[in-house]
């Protein structure tokens, strides 16, 4: 049975808290949420609730996310900490991440929150596991060697003079060298092509600052992508790394596919608007921006409500249409739509439900400009009736 994720939410705005809790219950399952609205409530829940994840608003009366994060870290709790805020400067975001926050989410981009939680939980778990492994490895040479040969990642240990003190079999395969041949050797003498590379700088930074560094880098001499977890100690470095070339190639393929689909999406003769079940715009193409939503001077972009673009007199009818579509119906009609430019255009609107995992999770509006066709039909009707 999947373990229930315990989420502590620090938020003094009840409405925002309800929105976040509703999103979490829908997208993060199973989970249990507890709400703290002030400093004391937050401290109490840290002890009584024992959360797995903390989600914090930026500013509360007499309390802030930065203070909350300090309390968590001062207690020695390595819990995922995610900031949710309306606005935040790049400087503040960089500062709070530097002090141990895992991520920050703007409130108009709440759809990112579930993925951010998953990533933070996995990252913290991996860091905890590897830190514990590194600590245990230094307690016993025999245990050290046994565990390092069993881990799936490649692993090397370097002393402060940049000499190999340990190389496991997986590392030997990636480095194309026998592990025993590298012991006692100077890494930059054995691999001079690495000098100046990003990982070279990261190794030096980690050792000098005594800070953990995670790095993904393309290593051209071996034509591979490597993911590095660099753990410093007063005695040197412990580095876990793995070949992630297949994953990177897959990501590049996905990115190219997305770009191709985006080009098709934006170059279509029809306008497309994708909505969630609440009427929030999740995606739209350029044709939609130019036509469907061009009847107002509001900026059309994802995150806005489609109802912002509906004339007040038609709002009730439009909501009824969306309700029918969310029940599984397809609705289509023609109607004129005045543009901000003053021009009157005719469109054919088609509303279709969008299904996800056999459930309706939103809808798609397609819109075809039939102004010329409509004008032609009116001319034909005029000719046939005179």
Whether 22 is in a domain gets the answer yes
Cβ atoms 60, 38 nearer than 8 A: yes
Query: Of 115-119, 189-193, 320-324, which range is least confident?
Result: 115-119
Higher pLDDT, 7 or 252: 7
Cα 331 from Cα 312, distance rounded (Å): 20
Tell me: do 96 and 127 sit in the same domain.
Answer: yes
Tell me: do 210 and 297 sit in the same domain.
Answer: no
Instruction: Give the count of alpha carbons within 13 A of 63, CB side only.
Output: 18
pLDDT single digits (tens) 188-247: 999 999 999 899 999 999 999 999 999 999 988 888 999 999 999 999 999 999 898 888
* Percent of all residues in the chain with a pLDDT value above 70, rounded to a whole number: 84
Domain boundary among 66, 101, 132: 132
pLDDT of residue 204: 96
- Assessment of whether the complete model's pTM goes beyond 0.85: no
Q: Taking residues 82-92, report their average pLDDT.
A: 80
| pLDDT for 2 beyond 70 | no
What Å distances lie between residue 325 and 236, 314, 381, CA to CA?
62, 17, 33
| pLDDT for 291 beyond 70 | no
Tell me: do 116 and 16 sit in the same domain.
Answer: yes
Tell me: do 20 and 91 sit in the same domain.
Answer: yes
User: Which is it for the CA torsion 26, 32, 37, 38, positive or negative?
Assistant: negative
pLDDT of residue 59: 79
Whether 47 is in a domain gets the answer yes
Give the count of beta carbons closer than 10 Å to the beta carbon of residue 42.
22
Tell me: do 171 and 276 sit in the same domain.
Answer: no
Cα 201 from Cα 177, distance rounded (Å): 23
Tell me: do 274 and 166 sit in the same domain.
Answer: no
Can you give the residue range of the structural domain that contains 315? 268-377
In this structure, what CATH number is given to the domain that contains residue 350? 3.30.450.20
Tell me which H or E stretch contains 53: strand 53-57
Whether 382 is in a domain gets the answer no
pLDDT of residue 331: 93
* Nearest by Cα to 154 from 173, 139, 140: 173
Count up the domains in the chain and report the number. Answer: 3
Q: Taking residues 324-352, report their average pLDDT.
A: 87
pLDDT single digits (tens) 38-59: 999 999 999 999 999 999 988 7
Cβ atoms 19, 110 nearer than 8 A: yes
Q: Taking residues 19-44, report their average pLDDT.
A: 90
Length reported for the chain = 386
Query: Per-residue confidence at 156, pLDDT binned at 50, 70, 90?
Result: very high
């Amino acid at each position: 049975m999947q373990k229930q994720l315990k989420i502590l939410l620090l938020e003094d705005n009840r409405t925002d808290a309800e929105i976040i809790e509703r999103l979490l219950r829908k997208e993060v399952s199973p989970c249990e949420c507890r709400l703290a609205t002030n400093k004391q409530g937050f401290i109490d829940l840290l002890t009584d609730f024992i959360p797995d994840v903390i989600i914090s608003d930026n500013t509360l009366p007499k309390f802030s996310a930065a203070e909350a994060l300090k309390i968590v870290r001062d207690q020695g709790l390595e819990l995922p900490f995610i900031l949710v805020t309306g606005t935040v400067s790049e400087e503040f975001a960089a500062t709070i991440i530097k002090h141990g926050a895992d991520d920050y989410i703007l409130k108009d981009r709440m759809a990112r929150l579930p993925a951010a939680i998953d990533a933070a939980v996995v990252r913290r778990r991996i860091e905890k596991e590897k830190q514990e492994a590194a600590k245990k490895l230094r307690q016993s040479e025999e245990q050290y060697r046994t565990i390092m040969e069993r881990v799936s990642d490649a692993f090397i240990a370097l002393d402060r003079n940049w000499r190999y003190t340990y190389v496991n079999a997986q590392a030997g395969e990636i480095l194309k060298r026998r592990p025993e041949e590298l012991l006692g050797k100077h890494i930059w003498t054995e691999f001079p092509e690495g000098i100046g590379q990003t990982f070279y700088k990261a190794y030096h930074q980690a050792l000098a600052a005594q800070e953990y560094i995670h790095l993904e880098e393309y290593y051209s001499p071996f034509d591979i992508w490597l993911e590095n977890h660099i753990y410093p100690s007063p005695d040197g470095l412990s580095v876990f790394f793995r070949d992630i070339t297949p994953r990177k190639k897959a990501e590049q393929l996905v990115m190219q596919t997305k770009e191709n689909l985006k080009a098709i999406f934006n170059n279509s003769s029809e306008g497309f608007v994708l909505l969630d079940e609440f009427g929030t715009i999740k995606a739209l193409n350029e044709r939609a921006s130019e036509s469907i939503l061009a009847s107002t001077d509001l900026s059309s972009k994802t995150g806005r409500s489609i109802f912002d673009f509906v004339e007040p007199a038609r709002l009730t009818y439009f909501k009824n249409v969306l309700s029918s579509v969310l029940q599984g119906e397809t609705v289509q009609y023609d109607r004129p739509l005045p543009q901000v430019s003053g021009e009157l255009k005719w469109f054919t609107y088609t509303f279709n439900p969008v299904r996800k995992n056999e459930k309706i999770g939103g809808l798609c509006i397609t819109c075809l400009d039939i102004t010329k066709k409509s004008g032609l039909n009116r001319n034909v009707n005029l000719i046939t009736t005179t």
